[in-house]
Amino acid sequence: MKAIIRIGMSTSDIAAGAEDTFRAIESAVRHRQLDVTLKRTGSLGASHREPVVDIEIDGQSTLYGPVTPERVTPMLDQHFGAGERGVSDDWVISRKNDRSDYPFLGKQYKVTTKLCGIIDPFSLEDYLAHDGYQALKQALKMPPEAVVQTVKDSKLRGRGGAGFPTGIKWELLRKAPKHPKFLICNADEGDPGAFMDRATIEGDPHKLLEGMIIAAYATGASQGYIYARAEYPLAVNILRNAIAQAREYGVLGENILGSGLNFDVTIKEGAGAFVCGEETALMHSIEGKRGMPSMRPPYPAQSGLWGYPSNINNVETLTSISSIILNGADWYAGLGTAKSGGTKAFALAGAIQRSGLVEVPIGTPLKELIYDIGGGCANGRELKAVQMGGPSGGCIPARMLDTIIDYDEISATGAIMGSGGMIVLDDTVSMVNIAHYFLSFTQDESCGKCVPCRVGTRQMLNILQRLLDGRGRIDDIEKLRRLCYTVGKSSLCGLGQTAPNPVLTTLRYFEDEYLAAVTNDVQGQTKLVAEASV
Amino acid sequence: MITLTINGKTIHANPGEKVLDVALRHGIDIPHLCHHKDLLPSGSCRMCLVQVEGAAKPQTSCGMTVQDGMVIETDTEDIEAMRRDLIDLFVSDHPLTCVTCDKNGSCNLQDYAYRYNISETSFDFELSRPKYYDDNPFYIRDYQYCIMCGKCVRVCDEVVGANAIDFSQRGFETIISTPFDVPLAESACVFCGNCVQICPTAALLPRSKIGKGREWEMSRKQTICGYCGVGCTVEYALKGDKIIYAQGTPDGTVNGEFLCVKGRFGWDFVTSPDRLTTPLVRKDLAYELGLTDEPWEMPQTPVFKGKPKLSNYIPVSWEQAIDITATKLADVVKQHGSDAVGGLTSARCTNEENYLFQKFMRAGVGTNSVDHCARL
């Protein structure tokens, strides 16, 4: 009998009490002298059922969650002892290896998060046993131009949110005449409610490193930086360990796998500024300066870190690379839509039955993700809207949930694809309040450099606060629109340019709530409502 | 040579030039608050946005390099409306106390408020940083007037190299500050005041100027700074015959617009009552030369310890003073030889004066013992 017990030990599992569960299982296994391999893994993504424990015996897996320490004894009895000892069916998430009996997991299509919750993130051997670094070996046999071409053909677009084609970005760096070249991984995940990058790094750090090394080979970069959130201590720890293992294994450092490629990776921990996710601010932060955006052009590929050509890719972009190399560009492109290939991970949160990390092919309708995978709105409430893209994104109303997950389709609604934050809002939510929440976040996180973002968002916030307090003025909505326009068009960086999005989309789809909030002047309100209905 | 079109006008520019610089040179007045010709572009005021053909969004002209065939509109209705909104936002966080403001008449924000006809904000007036610092003898920092253009930070970094100040805090509360908000004297500040010079508003003001007059009441006198041999161009703002403040001029030959602490703030001696206005001869020598009947003996304590007592001297004319000096010097040379005399001159003299001095020492006195304080 070959038995493996996997215990999810990601940040979200630990928050749900996974450490106590782990200790309970560890001592029970020792006490019973069971011949079992205990494995600490990352998160499977099923946050709503954490802590999650997977008991696999002779290749047959049973997934449990949430597993409290009290549930450990009956569970172990069931599998390794006297038989049925009161294990409730409610504790079981899935009894099938393909998880087809649990739609939250069964209906996903995992690429970047495939090994999360399966392998031990501290173990290089585990990664190697799952085709680890095979893609790198394969890429090193190809000319670098062919690697770039493969990425271009895969139709992979930047997963940080803007969706710039990754292959073209790589080509720009490759063609830049200056040396050295830098490759930066943006792991400064700051959107409220988003945790895709954290989960990916905590579950499968070598996949990120492998993607970076392939990118370095393809672009000619000699030094890599991972700009990670300091608020992610576990992810940073796991990455540090992985980098040390990779150096020892010979895939980082000089003459990688005998190919002549020299490349190393350094972790730079951020200091908690949201704006450092903006690429120019991020580079200033690595340089030791205050994280403040600067004008583009020059773009990073022309003049980036310390004035040298640089390329910045998000964690999810880079973790997609090894799968693209291994399975081919056609396979990856075939997963998505005509213009955008592959899959996208989302942090599904808010008023949803089953929250957590989900990964679906691009082109999947929002409805499918929210109802089939997420199980629809929680507590029997009615779904009102879905907020996508965090503070730079917007709200998509329930009636538009047929929209497919695709950069252009989502942008057409006024929201953005974003890095993967997806918050489900039910009918108890005030949309003005939602706009206020996201805008207050942006306002707090503005770097203060340019006036539209520093003062403009403040004035927008003042108006929203007035509306929420029932002190709305007759011209507030018009003023709000004007500010949205000016702030969006005249701000220096992406943070300011997209700051009005939460307001703009809620104004577009839920204007009646704004109008209702203008209560001060009854006559004025009637006039506004009349105008709106024309 | 690059050819581009701005507002329908064909313009030639050199490769690498920025659109804003080229436009300003050709008399096209693109509004700007954070631009300075000697500083790297920062793009923080957003006033110089222009519409470039083919670009979806307005572009920042101060940071945009000219390209052949560019077609630019600087004052479309859309852009002008945006600029008006920006000024509206600036003055929502800047007291429009122009009537009593010492910057009245030389304030860039005031100029644009006038241009866009904004006498008060249409938004909520809300001060983000009503902080006032009066922590040094040279200038004050009144951050309620600060518009965060960042020119002070850049001049301190790029021109002076002191890096005494930077942006601090985030969001609406962002402020320019020394590290940990220590007083300027404890920071790396060298009090050159170049930040004061290029501040577009009343956020940084020379203390000497506060309450001392309106800009239009002052006359300007351009001269060469007498402090050292560099020869910086300095301009004094005068009210009547009183110096109110000193500043550099944009076209200074050797220093551009920038000065050091001495040139900018060290001119109070000009009208100081302590200033010597006539040559003086010490009383013992005066008695010896028959200029006074009163015998006098030098006190035991050295006369130069502490402030010199004017009562120990008697005033003489320049002719007398030069006569006495020449006679005494000739006596020494006659008695002890030329090499008994040495000459030491000053960096505050001009090159020509220093040349003449060494000529005098070598040809007149006959010694090579001549030196200069800048070598010490």
Is pLDDT of A522 > 70?
no
Q: Is residue B107 part of a domain?
A: no
Q: How far apart are CA B206 and CA B193, in angstroms?
A: 8
Which chain A residue has its CA at the smallest distance from B121's CA?
Answer: A459
Buried b (16+ CB within 10 A) or exposed e, B171-204: bbebbbbbeeeeebeebebebbbbbbbbbbbbbb
Helix, strand or coil, per DSSP, at residue A236: helix
Same domain, B268 and B300: no
Same domain, B346 and B374: yes
Number of domains observed in the structure of chain B: 5
Mean pLDDT of A89-108: 95
- Residues 6 or more apart whose CB falls under 8 angstroms from that of B151 comprise B34, B36, B39, B195, B198, B199, B200
Q: Tell me the residue length of chain A.
A: 534
For chain A, the domains span 3-100, 124-335, 343-426, 440-533
The reply to whether residue B44 touches residue A273, judged by beta carbons under 8 angstroms, is: no
Closest to A13 in 3D by CA, of A54, A57, A53, A71: A53
CA distance B249 to chain A (A): 28
Q: How far apart are CA A173 and CA A180, in angstroms?
A: 11
Both structure tokens of A407: 């950069």
Q: How far apart are CA A223 and CA B282, in angstroms?
A: 74
pLDDT score, position B301: 67
Closest to B91 in 3D by CA, of B73, B64, B118, B72: B118
From the candidates B49, B123, B143, B174, which should be mutated to test the interface with A, based on the most A CB atoms within 10 A?
Answer: B123
Same domain, B258 and B310: no
The reply to whether residue A458 touches residue B122, judged by beta carbons under 8 angstroms, is: no
Which chain A residue has its CA at the smallest distance from B91's CA?
Answer: A455
The reply to whether residue B172 touches residue A447, judged by beta carbons under 8 angstroms, is: no
Which chain B residues are Cβ-neighbours of A294 within 8 angstroms?
A: 42-43
> Is A44 within 8 Å of A9 (Cβ atoms)?
no
Q: How far apart are CA B155 and CA B30, in angstroms?
A: 22
Closest to A10 in 3D by CA, of A250, A420, A347: A347
The phi and psi torsions of B246 (rounded to 5 degrees) equal: -120, 150
Q: How far apart are CA B204 and CA B206, in angstroms?
A: 7
Position with higher pLDDT, B307 vs A231? A231
Residue A290: which of B82, B147, B166 has the nearest Cβ? B166
pLDDT score, position B305: 65
Residue with tokens 């302590």: B274
Same domain, B202 and B224: no
Domain A124-335 sits in CATH 3.40.50.970: no
Q: How far apart are CA A208 and CA A189, in angstroms?
A: 15
For the ranges A490-499, B69-78, B302-311, which has the lowest average pLDDT? B302-311
Same domain, B129 and B186: yes
Which chain B residue has its CA at the smallest distance from A454's CA?
Answer: B172
Both structure tokens of A22: 């782990």
How many A×B Cβ pairs under 8 Å? 105
Closest to A372 in 3D by CA, of A381, A360, A384: A360
A469: DSSP letter: T
Residue B44: which of A445, A492, A497 has the nearest Cβ? A492
Q: Is residue B102 part of a domain?
A: no
Same domain, B135 and B210: yes
Residue A295: which of B63, B126, B150 has the nearest Cβ? B63
Residue A382's CB is within 10 A of a number of other CB atoms, namely: 11
CA distance B216 to chain A (A): 30
Closest to B129 in 3D by CA, of B188, B181, B192: B181
First to last CA, chain A: 74
pLDDT tens-digit series, residues A335-393: 999 999 999 999 999 999 999 999 999 999 999 999 999 999 999 999 999 999 999 99
From the candidates B18, B42, B44, which should be mutated to test the interface with A, based on the most A CB atoms within 10 A?
Answer: B44
> Is A159 within 8 Å of A178 (Cβ atoms)?
no
> Is B271 within 8 Å of B278 (Cβ atoms)?
no
Q: Is residue B146 part of a domain?
A: yes
Which chain B residues are Cβ-neighbours of A284 within 8 angstroms?
A: none
Same domain, B307 and B283: yes
Q: How confident is the model at residue A523 (pLDDT cuts 50, 70, 90)?
A: very low
CATH architecture classification, A3-100: 3-Layer(aba) Sandwich (3.40)
Angle between helices A205-219 and A196-203 (to 10 degrees): 100
CA distance A154 to chain B (A): 28
Q: Is residue B98 part of a domain?
A: no
> Is B156 within 8 Å of B218 (Cβ atoms)?
no
Q: How far apart are CA B157 and CA B153, in angstroms?
A: 6
Closest to A144 in 3D by CA, of A100, A107, A119, A181: A181
pTM above 0.95, yes or no: no
pLDDT tens-digit series, residues A11-26: 999 999 999 999 999 9
> Is A318 within 8 Å of A192 (Cβ atoms)?
no
Q: Tell me the residue length of chain B.
A: 376
Q: How far apart are CA A271 and CA A282, in angstroms?
A: 11
Residue B333's CB is within 10 A of a number of other CB atoms, namely: 17
Mean pLDDT of A513-519: 84
Q: Where are the beta strands (DSSP E) in A254-328?
A: 264-269, 310-314
Q: How far apart are CA A490 and CA A482, in angstroms?
A: 12
Closest to B169 in 3D by CA, of A290, A276, A452, A457: A290
Separation of CA A410 from chain center: 16
Q: How confident is the model at residue A530 (pLDDT cuts 50, 70, 90)?
A: low
Q: How far apart are CA B207 and CA B191, in angstroms?
A: 12
The reply to whether residue A462 touches residue B42, judged by beta carbons under 8 angstroms, is: no
Q: How confident is the model at residue B299 (pLDDT cuts 50, 70, 90)?
A: confident
Q: How far apart are CA A304 and CA A312, in angstroms?
A: 9
Angle between helices A431-445 and A501-509 (to 10 degrees): 170
Using only the alpha carbons of chain A, give its radius of gyration.
24
The reply to whether residue A483 touches residue B85, judged by beta carbons under 8 angstroms, is: yes
Class of domain A440-533: mainly alpha
The reply to whether residue B171 touches residue A454, judged by beta carbons under 8 angstroms, is: yes
Cα angle, residue A452 at apex, residues A447 and A457 outer, rounded to 5°: 75
Q: Within chain A, what is the greatest distance between any pair of CA atoms?
A: 79
Residue A272's CB is within 10 A of a number of other CB atoms, namely: 14
Is pLDDT of B304 > 80?
no
Both structure tokens of B310: 């004017």
The reply to whether residue B90 touches residue A451, judged by beta carbons under 8 angstroms, is: yes
The reply to whether residue A448 touches residue B167, judged by beta carbons under 8 angstroms, is: yes
Domain range for B30:
2-75
| Three-state SS sequence of A129-158 | HCCCCHHHHHHHCCCHHHHHHHHHHCCCEC
From the candidates B40, B86, B175, which should be mutated to test the interface with A, based on the most A CB atoms within 10 A?
Answer: B86
> Is A434 within 8 Å of A468 (Cβ atoms)?
no
Last residue of a domain, one of B226, B258, B273: B273
Helix, strand or coil, per DSSP, at residue A159: coil
CATH topology of domain A343-426: Ubiquitin-like (UB roll) (3.10.20)
Is pLDDT of A524 > 50?
no
Which chain B residues are Cβ-neighbours of A451 within 8 angstroms?
A: 44-46, 86, 89-90, 147-148
Residue A451: which of B58, B64, B89 has the nearest Cβ? B89
Is pLDDT of A473 > 50?
yes
Q: How far apart are CA A473 and CA B330, in angstroms?
A: 91
A371: DSSP letter: I
Which chain B residue has its CA at the smallest distance from A456's CA?
Answer: B89
Which chain A residues are Cβ-neighbours of B172 within 8 angstroms?
A: 443, 446, 448, 454-455, 458
pLDDT tens-digit series, residues A268-305: 999 989 999 999 999 999 999 999 999 988 999 999 99
The phi and psi torsions of A246 (rounded to 5 degrees) equal: -65, -35
Q: Is residue B149 part of a domain?
A: yes
pLDDT tens-digit series, residues A66-95: 999 999 999 999 998 877 778 889 999 999
Which chain A residues are Cβ-neighbours of B176 within 8 angstroms?
A: none
> Is A49 within 8 Å of A273 (Cβ atoms)?
no
Cis peptide preceding B206, ω within 30 of 0? no
> Is A445 within 8 Å of B170 (Cβ atoms)?
yes
Residue with tokens 């020598």: B285
Both structure tokens of A92: 């079981």
Same domain, B206 and B251: no
> Is A362 within 8 Å of A155 (Cβ atoms)?
no
Q: Is residue B259 part of a domain?
A: yes
Alpha-carbon distances of B319 from A400, B122, B243, B280, B328, rounded to whole Å: 99, 70, 30, 12, 14
Which chain A residues are Cβ-neighbours of B94 within 8 angstroms?
A: none
pLDDT score, position A519: 63
Q: Is residue B253 part of a domain?
A: yes
- In terms of DSSP H, where are the helices of chain B? 19-25, 77-91, 108-115, 151-154, 194-198, 261-265, 283-288, 318-336, 351-359
Mean pLDDT of B274-299: 89
CATH number for B66 = 3.10.20.740
> Is A341 within 8 Å of A334 (Cβ atoms)?
yes
Same domain, B233 and B208: no
Helix (H) or strand (E) holding A474: none
Q: How far apart are CA A321 and CA A299, in angstroms?
A: 23
First to last CA, chain B: 49
Which chain A residues are Cβ-neighbours of B64 within 8 angstroms?
A: 297
Cα angle, residue A414 at apex, residues A412 and A419 outer, rounded to 5°: 95
Q: Is residue B96 part of a domain?
A: no
Position with higher pLDDT, A88 vs A141? A141
DSSP, residue by residue, A20-53: HHHHHHHHHHHHHT--EEEEEE---S-GGG-S-E
Same domain, B213 and B225: no
pLDDT tens-digit series, residues B125-173: 999 999 999 999 999 999 999 999 999 999 999 999 999 999 999 999 9
The reply to whether residue B170 touches residue A295, judged by beta carbons under 8 angstroms, is: no
The reply to whether residue A450 touches residue B122, judged by beta carbons under 8 angstroms, is: no
CA distance A495 to chain B (A): 12
